[in-house]
């Protein structure tokens, strides 16, 4: 029998550099040497289980929210007179933090009462995204550090670098812009974004559009204010600010709703956006759960995430990209409604130029949204040449709106094909191996190499490791 007793509700507070405080509750029950309970954050409630020994050392295991593709997280703590000393991680890929959790009242940290979602119906189309949306998003490079000045600088750079001319139009602010609400429950931006309407006006003055982020839960993934119970009010605020794009992330809603409620919950914001009268592109972010591709368009979605979060590395990118033939997702992609395998990592430094060309080639064949995630202000000429290749982008933006499918797979070699509006087809010859490979085009015709930007006569290509030959064939 363990001597210590950790039964109770423990609050660990971690301050972010931007001043926001992330609250994590460990609601624990001890039975001898066995410990069970829940980890409660602003975004999720997850079951815990573990043990405690006679020195008061407790070891807790948490299964991560995204399942088997992420390792479990372990939290180790020691019960002392001043509280429960914990070594905790916010994510499996982040370094541990040392915090002291204090015991608080039972029930603190529980989500608010459930609001019953509406009956299902089809949301009126907003008429947007006839081709996959293109632009930039702050998260991959800046995460919670993004500021209004970063957004202004990115808008300037999108114009001066040629990104705007290449078709990148949206400048999207991801999570951590939110403060609380005013006396009338209107959503407020925090000190990093002191003039949201003025910022939108600035972005619009560059001939670009601006996007923002929220969640159907009471809090966002990073613990900021969500839109729960304030969907219409927030949609009207976004419209008044001049917002053109909303990324709507499930996160905190999982504390209140079941996955089976997801369609109705997303429908609620879809209706609210349309009711504003402003054309606001609606991007669903719920990590492919509930076969979103089957109902995303019905709730007004212009794009919907079909994967977990991407990381800037070959293993993450290729696992996400080359898994997009595993379900019947391609048949649901069409003008106005797109499958989204997450944002681009091109230029962030975790992959080679060859791997980044594979990244853009595959996303373009998949008719995916192309949202750059690097710092465009400091992008190298090589990075900009990849991101702005007009012939590759044209494959993504083809008005027929067909998503590519895998034609063949032999070992580390895959061939993907996409029908195009002019009757031609785009072929991606991908070499996932670590040695160069000879790959043969499976058809005859007039061949255009989209990376070399020239017509070629051969039907066999030497494809470098982790590389691609992207070809248009008439």
- Gap between the terminal Cα atoms of the chain: 75
What are the residues whose beta carbons fall under 8 Å from the beta carbon of 392, sequence distance 6 or more?
360, 361, 364, 450, 451, 470
- Between CA 67 and CA 63 the distance in angstroms is 7
- C-alpha distances in angstroms, 390 versus 28, 158, 176, 298, 394? 56, 15, 33, 32, 6
Please provide residue 159's backbone torsions phi and psi, each rounded to the nearest 5 degrees.
-75, -50
Of these residues, 27, 244, 249, 312, which one is catalytic? 249
What are the residues whose beta carbons fall under 8 Å from the beta carbon of 147, sequence distance 6 or more?
192, 193
309 catalytically annotated: yes
- What secondary structure letter does DSSP report for 422? T
Cα R_g (the chain), whole angstroms? 24
What are the residues whose beta carbons fall under 8 Å from the beta carbon of 83, sequence distance 6 or more?
10, 100, 101, 102, 103
What are the residues whose beta carbons fall under 8 Å from the beta carbon of 254, sequence distance 6 or more?
43, 44, 45, 65, 217
Which of 106, 91, 68 has its CA nearest to residue 22? 91
- Between CA 284 and CA 246 the distance in angstroms is 8
- C-alpha distances in angstroms, 310 versus 126, 221, 379? 28, 15, 20
Query: What is the four-CA torsion angle of 285, 289, 290, 293, rounded to 10 degrees?
Result: 50
SS3 content of the chain, % helix, strand, coil (to 5): 25, 30, 45
> Exposed (0-12), middle (13-18) or buried (19+): which is 10, by Cβ within 10 Å?
buried
Of these residues, 234, 309, 342, 396, which one is catalytic? 309
- Between CA 181 and CA 188 the distance in angstroms is 5
Which of 338, 349, 342, 306 has its CA nearest to residue 324? 306
Alpha helices in 285-377 (DSSP H): 314-321, 353-365
**CA geometry: angle 438, 439, 442, nearest 5 deg:** 155
291 catalytically annotated: no
- Between CA 427 and CA 449 the distance in angstroms is 10
Residues in the chain: 474
Residues annotated as catalytic (active site), given as ranges: 249, 309
């Amino acid at each position: 029998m363990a001597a210590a007793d950790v039964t109770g509700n423990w609050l660990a507070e971690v301050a972010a550099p931007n001043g926001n405080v992330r609250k994590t509750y460990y609601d624990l029950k001890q039975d001898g040497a066995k410990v069970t309970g829940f980890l409660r954050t602003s975004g999720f409630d997850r079951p815990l289980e573990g043990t405690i020994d006679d020195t008061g050392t407790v070891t807790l295991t948490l299964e991560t929210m995204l399942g088997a593709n992420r390792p479990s997280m372990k939290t180790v703590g020691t019960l002392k007179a001043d509280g429960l000393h914990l070594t905790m991680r916010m994510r499996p890929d982040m370094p541990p933090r040392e915090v002291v959790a204090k015991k608080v009242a039972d029930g603190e940290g529980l989500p608010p009462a459930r609001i019953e979602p509406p009956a299902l119906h089809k949301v009126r189309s907003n008429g947007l995204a006839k081709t996959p949306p293109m632009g930039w998003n702050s998260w991959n490079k800046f995460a919670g550090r993004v500021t209004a000045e970063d957004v202004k600088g990115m808008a300037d750079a999108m114009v001066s670098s040629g990104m705007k001319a290449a078709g990148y139009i949206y400048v999207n602010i991801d999570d951590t812009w939110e403060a609380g609400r005013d006396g009338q429950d209107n959503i407020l931006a925090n000190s990093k974004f002191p003039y949201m309407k003025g910022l939108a006006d600035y972005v619009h003055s560059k001939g670009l559009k601006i996007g923002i982020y929220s969640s159907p839960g009471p809090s966002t993934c990073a613990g900021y204010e969500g839109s729960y119970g304030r969907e219409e009010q927030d949609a009207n605020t976004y419209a008044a600010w001049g917002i053109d794009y909303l990324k709507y992330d499930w996160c905190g809603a999982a504390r209140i709703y079941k996955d089976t409620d997801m369609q109705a919950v997303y429908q609620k914001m879809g209706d609210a956006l349309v009711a504003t009268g402003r054309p606001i592109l609606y991007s669903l972010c719920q990590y492919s759960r509930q076969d979103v591709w089957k109902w995303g368009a019905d709730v007004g979605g212009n794009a919907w995430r079909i994967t977990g979060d991407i990381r800037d590395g070959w293993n993450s990118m290729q696992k996400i990209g080359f898994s997009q033939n595993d379900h019947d997702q391609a048949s649901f992609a069409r003008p106005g409604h797109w499958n989204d395998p997450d944002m681009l990592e091109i230029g962030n430094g975790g992959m080679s130029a060859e791997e980044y060309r594979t990244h853009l080639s595959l996303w373009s064949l998949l008719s995916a949204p192309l949202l750059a995630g690097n710092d465009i202000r400091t992008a190298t000429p090589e990075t900009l040449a990849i991101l702005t290749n007009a012939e590759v982008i044209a494959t993504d933006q083809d008005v027929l709106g067909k998503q590519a499918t895998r034609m063949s797979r032999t070992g580390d070699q895959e061939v993907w094909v996409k029908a195009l509006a002019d009757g031609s087809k785009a072929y991606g010859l991908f070499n996932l191996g670590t040695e160069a490979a000879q790959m043969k085009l499976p058809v005859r015709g007039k061949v255009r190499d989209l990376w070399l930007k020239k017509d070629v006569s051969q039907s066999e290509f030497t494809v470098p490791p982790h590389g691609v030959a992207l070809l248009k064939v008439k």
